[in-house]
A and B are shown apart, each in its own frame.
Chain A
Amino acid sequence: MHPVVKLIAQRLALGLLLLLAVSVLIFAGTEMLPGDVAQAILGQSATETALRNLREEMGLNQPAITRYFQWLGGILQGDLGTALSNKKEIATEIGARLGNTLFLAFWAAAVSVPLAIGLGLLAVRYRNRWPDKLISGVTLATISLPEFVAGYILMYLLTVKFRIFSPISTIYDSMSFGQKLNAIALPVMVLVLVVLAHMMRMTRAAILNVMQSAYIETAELKGLRPLTIIARHAFPNAIAPVVNVVMLNLAYLVVGVVVVEVVFVYPGMGQYLVDHVTKRDVPVVQACGLIFAAVYIGLNIFADVISILANPRLRHPK
């Protein structure tokens, strides 16, 4: 077997094992939440009778181990179960929400990744001069701003003061593609501002590291233009750390944008998860947790594989 294929297979197997371990953690974690589902659903209106009825109906009387294996068995067959709070199929509900989340994450990534890398290259080209300082200063400032502050500022400026965009980013099926893009413009902007600095700084640092190498000097001496040196000779050798940080940020765009979703009323996974956490809707919380974990693990494996492929030493191990 080709060593690369073997390496990838190994990573995948490890990823699956990790996912299994995460499933145990998620299940144990949700078991430890304070209060119980029945109580949380009924809230202040809970009476003893109603609580008893609800617990019985939801099978909360069975031991945890039994419920874990029932749950795991269901997931392996693609059955995420039914939401306790509204009796809807979790798989269908999550399907739509996950689609929305990926849509937003995709466009945020499509803007931020090339922008971050491009700015990183520019920063290296003009390192320690004013373009470098300006790029670093601005991106560091935007990452330091909490997302909701950035969101409210943009909302005030671009929807209330100048009515360019919609403050409400709710998207639904009957919208055209253009309408959808228009609706998510503001959250995409905010997300770009949030993730830009991290990726840009990492690109800059990684390339600067490579720039010390002897072959860069050679390239300079043979008279190549600075940007060509950076793009053709330095960047390919700096891909591994850049890909890692890009993947981390992509994972963040998928699993960590609850605040932005709330501010812009975007029907994504984060809001969906939060709603169900407050109602102690354990099956949904578990399913969301597992999907988030899978996204994280998957993207990290992807980053690993890219690093391996980008590095001849890892591609051709002795």
Chain B
Amino acid sequence: MKDDLAKLLDFIDGAGLSRRSFLTRSAAFGATAVVGTALTTGRASAEEPKKGGVLKIGLGGGEATDTLDPGLADSQVPFALNRNWGDTIVRVTPDGQIEPRLAESFSSNPEGTEWTFTIRQGVKFHDGSDMTVDDVVATFKRHSDENSKSGALGIMKGISDISADGQNVVMKLETGNADLPYLLADYHLVIQPKGGVDNPAAGIGTGAYKVVSAEAGVRYVLEKNADDWDTTRGHYDGVEILVINDSTARNSALQAGQVHMINRVDPKVAQLLSKTPGVVVTNISGPGHYVFIMHCDTAPFDNNDLRLALKYSINRQEMVDKILSGYGGVGNDIPINASYPLFDATLEQRPYDLAKAAEHYKASGHDGSPIELLVADGAFPGAVDAATLWQASCEQAGIPLVVKKVPDDGYWSDVWNVKPFCASYWGGRPVQDQMYSTAYLSTAEWNDTRFKDPEFDALLIEARAETDTTKRQELYSKIAHILRDTGGVIVPMFNDYIDGHSETVAGWIEDPTTEMMGGWAAQKTWFA
């Protein structure tokens, strides 16, 4: 039913675009970046927001097992909910900048190994207590505890020391990382009173709305936080989140005016839904992508010619058209696309070339035995269909690809990252380094292609601490070339986020970071 939710963590993790000038300013020269909130309200902000009304949102991706603990948020509903009652210290804006939130400003040393975040004063939690530097430190410590099950544990690992210093939080890193603010914008890292150590699921934060009632997997009711520290957001009197996991029911609810916004519109019906009077369907390309992964250390995939043969034999455009109904873009066998900062747009797109595929297949010396690809419907929406399309084009190139459909049940434990050739997806990460480090570094726990290349590793570590943007971009270009030509990942397509909202909602802006305007829809829109 919703087996893919196990991986939706990644769908939501996708955030962030260009970092641009901020890096050179703050990291290279140690200067403090201060970006006002007014800068980032987006293109629809010419209109003055109106206050009032109760916004109803119908969201897929919620279950009876959800909790309010931000560390355990792993699907769309908890994500959207936590966004509204809590704040992170920084956030990624729609145009890929870092905007200070509960931090007023931040700076780093030139190497990017020590970061100082100045915490905003006079902010109150929903329970009336003051938000202090200690709360921030305690929150980060809770998420970095080795025993914690926080989804942000991986992010926090590289931070060796977190301490309070007056009004500042100081973080020391093991190795320089120019991307730290992007990582700290992670949606798990909601600042809670005393770090949320005693009661992580209390739902008390500094956000625009207060939690009134929470019925996991059913309905959440929020009311306006009258003492909100940020007066430019939270225009509704209240917000109601209804969990509607069935895609058809979600569409009907929007069409019937029962809800004002929905997420995850099925690409197959997006066109149709947009024709309903009073309904607007928006789509935006993000960093999420679908993959076929081969273990580079297992025969026959240990042969790069065979990997190339498979890469040339996949018809990417056909997949975007048929699997995503056009709501997406073609992939280039790297997990990065133009939605990432420092993306090398000159990187040549791998064509669909059956002659080349056949040539590489011949060069690989493969014995002609069936190459078994494991897929499940839960691997990504349309995975089985995509695999079948691929099988057909492989056949034309003489490659004996065989699709084996396996159950969704246990797919992520028994097939993905276990079997040498299967389908999967990634939700993307805010920055290139994080995406590569998560799944392509030799030592990464989720190196699901078993790709181990010392040169790749060295370049990646070098790029992480490199604060010169031009040099960094060159390094990432090299990295992309290596992975594209020798890696074990085949990226046929990047999928769009498709949301729907009623015409009564004003202020909707394009935010490629994640669905529902990056999760900010309830705070940044209003009733027209």
Chain A residues proximal to chain B, CB less than 8 Å: 34-36, 39-40, 42-50, 53-54, 83, 85-88, 93, 96-97, 152, 155-156, 159-160, 163, 166-168, 170, 172, 262-265, 267, 271-272, 274-276, 278-279, 281
Q: Are A271 and B217 interface neighbours, CB within 8 A?
A: yes
Q: Are A86 and B65 in contact (CB under 8 A)?
A: yes
B317 to chain A, nearest CB (A): 28
Whether B6 contacts A168 by the Cβ 8 Å rule is no
Stretch of B135-143, B252-260, B369-377 at the chain-chain interface? B252-260
Chain B residues in 8 Å Cβ range of A46 = 413
Q: How far is the CB of B292 from chain A (nearest CB, A)?
A: 16
B268 located at the interface, meaning its Cβ lies under 8 Å from any Cβ of chain A in the complex: no
The distance in angstroms between the C-alpha atoms of A7 and B491, with both chains bound, is 68
If the complex has contacts A34-B409, A49-B146, are A85 and B65 also in contact, measured as CB distance less than 8 A? yes
CB distance from B425 to the nearest CB of A (A): 9
Chain B neighbourhood of A97, CB < 8 A: 64
Give A168 to B248 CA distance when docked, in angstroms.
11
Contacts of A272 in B (CB 8 A): 64, 217
- In Å, the complex CA distance between A39 and B418 comes to 13
Asked if A43 meets B6 with Cβ closer than 8 Å, knowing A87-B67, A279-B65, the reply is yes
Are A45 and B9 in contact, with the CB atoms below 8 A? Answer: yes
Known: A45-B151, A50-B149. A265 touches B242 (CB 8 A): yes
Pairwise interchain contact B445-A47, C-beta atoms closer than 8 A: yes
A163:B64 contact, CB within 8 angstroms: no
With a cutoff of 8 Å between Cβ atoms, the chain A residues found around residue B74 in the complex are 43, 45
- Check: B410 CB closer than 8 A to any chain A CB: yes
Instruction: Say yes or no for B206: interface residue by CB 8 A criterion.
Output: no
Show 28 A/B contacts (Cβ-Cβ < 8 Å), sorted by A: A35-B414, A36-B413, A43-B412, A44-B7, A45-B9, A48-B445, A85-B65, A93-B64, A152-B248, A155-B252, A159-B256, A160-B255, A167-B252, A167-B258, A168-B58, A168-B244, A168-B253, A168-B258, A170-B219, A170-B242, A172-B219, A263-B246, A265-B242, A267-B217, A272-B217, A275-B2, A278-B63, A279-B63
| 3 pairs of A and B residues whose beta carbons are closest in the complex | A43-B6, A85-B65, A167-B252
**Binary contact readout B121-145 vs A (1 if CB under 8 angstroms, 0 otherwise):** 0000000000000000000000000
CB distance from B446 to the nearest CB of A (A): 7
Knowing A53-B149, A152-B248, the reply to whether A44 touches B10 (Cβ < 8 A) is: yes
> How many residues of B are counted as interface, with CB atoms below 8 angstroms from the partner's CB atoms?
50
B1 within 8 A of A: yes
Whole-angstrom distance between the Cβ of A131 and the nearest chain B Cβ: 35
- Bound Cα distance A267, B213 (Å): 15
The one of B3, B64, B151, B256 in contact with A167, judged by C-beta atoms closer than 8 angstroms, is B256
Q: Which residue of A lies closest to B56 (CB)?
A: A168
B435 within 8 Å of A (CB atoms): no
Are B7 and A43 interface neighbours, CB within 8 A? yes
A53 to B410, CA, bound (A): 20
Q: With CB as the reference atom, state the residue of chain A lying closest to B62.
A: A275
**A35-B410, A93-B64 known; 11 other A-B pairs, CB under 8 Å?**
A34-B414, A44-B7, A45-B74, A159-B252, A159-B255, A160-B255, A163-B257, A168-B58, A168-B259, A172-B218, A265-B246
CA gap between A49 and B147 in the complex, in Å: 8
Q: Is the beta-carbon distance between B249 and A39 smaller than 8 angstroms?
A: no
Assuming the A-B contacts A163-B256, A170-B218, are A86 and B409 also in contact, with contact meaning beta carbons closer than 8 angstroms in the complex? no
B5 within 8 A of A: yes
- Report the separation of the CA atoms of residues A43 and B414 in the bound assembly, to the nearest whole angstrom: 11
Q: How far apart sit A53 and B66, CA to CA, in the bound complex (Å)?
A: 20
B147: contacting residue among A53, A159, A262, A276, CB under 8 A = A53
Contact B149 A167 (CB under 8 A): no
Residues A166 and B248 in contact, CB atoms below 8 Å apart: no
A278 touches B249 (CB 8 A): no
Q: Is the CB of A278 within 8 A of B446?
A: no
- Cross-chain contact B217 with A275 (CB below 8 angstroms): yes
Q: Which residues 9-34 in B have Cβ within 8 Å of A in the complex?
A: 9-10
Tell me, in angstroms, the Cα distance from A243 to B3 when the chains sit together.
39
Return B211 CB to nearest CB of chain A, in Å: 15
Q: Which B151-166 residues sit within 8 Å CB-CB of chain A?
A: 151, 153
Q: Given that A34-B409, A53-B147, A168-B242 are known contacts, is A262 also in contact with B65, CB under 8 Å in the complex?
A: no
The answer to whether B216 has its CB under 8 Å from any CB of chain A is yes
Residues of B within 8 A of A83 (CB): 65
Chain B residues near A86 (CB-CB < 8 A): 65-67, 201, 216
Minimal beta-carbon separation of B32 from chain A (angstroms): 34
Does B215 count as interface, using CB distance less than 8 angstroms?
A: yes
The residues of A that contact B414 with a CB separation of less than 8 Å are 34-35
Q: Given the interface contacts A35-B413, A265-B246, A278-B1, does A42 sit within 8 Å of B259 by beta carbon?
A: no
Cβ of B510 to closest chain A Cβ, rounded Å = 28
B416 at the interface (CB under 8 A from A): yes
Residues of B within 8 A of A262 (CB): 1, 245-246, 249
The CA of A47 and the CA of B432, in the complex, are separated in Å by 22
A43 to B73, CA, bound (A): 12
User: What's the nearest-Cβ distance from chain A to residue B253, in Å?
Assistant: 5
- Tell me if B243 counts as interface (CB < 8 A to partner A): yes
With the chains together, A93 CA to B65 CA distance in Å?
10
B256 touches A40 (CB 8 A): no
Complex formed: what's the CA distance from A167 to B262 in Å? 14
A153 CA to B249 CA, complexed, in Å: 11
- Complex CA gap A54/B218 in Å reads 26
Q: Which residue of A lies closest to B245 (CB)?
A: A262
Chain B residues near A156 (CB, 8 Å)? Answer: 252
**Closest chain A residue to B9 by CB distance?**
A45
Chain A residues lying within 8 Å of B248, measured Cβ to Cβ, are: 152, 155, 263
Report the Cα distance A53→B246, complex, angstroms.
Answer: 34
If the complex has contacts A40-B413, A168-B58, are A267 and B218 also in contact, measured as CB distance less than 8 A?
yes
Chain B 421-453 against A: per-residue CB contact (8 Å), 1 yes, 0 no?
A: 000000000000000000000000110000000
Give the CA-CA distance A245 to B246 in the complex, in Å: 31
User: Are B412 and A44 interface neighbours, CB within 8 A?
Assistant: yes
A279 CA to B216 CA in the complex, in Å? 14
A166 x B258 contact (CB < 8 A):
yes
Nearest CB to that of B66 among chain A residues?
A86
User: Given that A43-B9, A172-B218, A267-B217 are known contacts, is A275 also in contact with B149, CB under 8 Å in the complex?
Assistant: no
B5 to chain A, nearest CB (A): 7
The reply to whether A278 and B5 form a contact with Cβ atoms under 8 Å apart is yes
Measured in the bound complex, the distance between the Cα atoms of B252 and A264 in whole Å is 10
User: What chain A residues lie within 8 Å of B256 (beta carbons)?
Assistant: 159-160, 163, 166-167
CB of B200, distance to nearest CB on chain A (Å): 10
Q: Tell me which of B217, B249, B257, B410 contacts A264 (CB under 8 A).
A: B249
**B249 contacts which of A48, A155, A267, A281 (Cβ < 8 Å)?**
A155
* Given A160-B252, A167-B253, A44 and B217 contact (CB-CB distance below 8 Å): no
> In whole angstroms, how far apart are the Cα atoms of A44 and B13 in the complex?
13
Q: Which residue of B lies closest to A173 (CB)?
A: B213
Known: A45-B74, A278-B3. A271 touches B64 (CB 8 A): yes
State A233–B244 Cα separation when bound (angstroms): 50
Q: Is the CB of A39 within 8 A of B413?
A: yes
The residues in B between 236 and 272 inclusive whose CB is less than 8 angstroms from any CB of A are: 242-246, 248-249, 252-253, 255-259
- Chain B residue with the shortest CB-CB distance to A268: B218
Smallest beta-carbon distance A138→chain B, Å: 25
Inter-chain contact A265/B243, CB cutoff 8 Å: yes
Q: Which residues of B contact A264 (CB under 8 A)?
A: 249
Nearest residue, chain A, Cβ from B146: A49
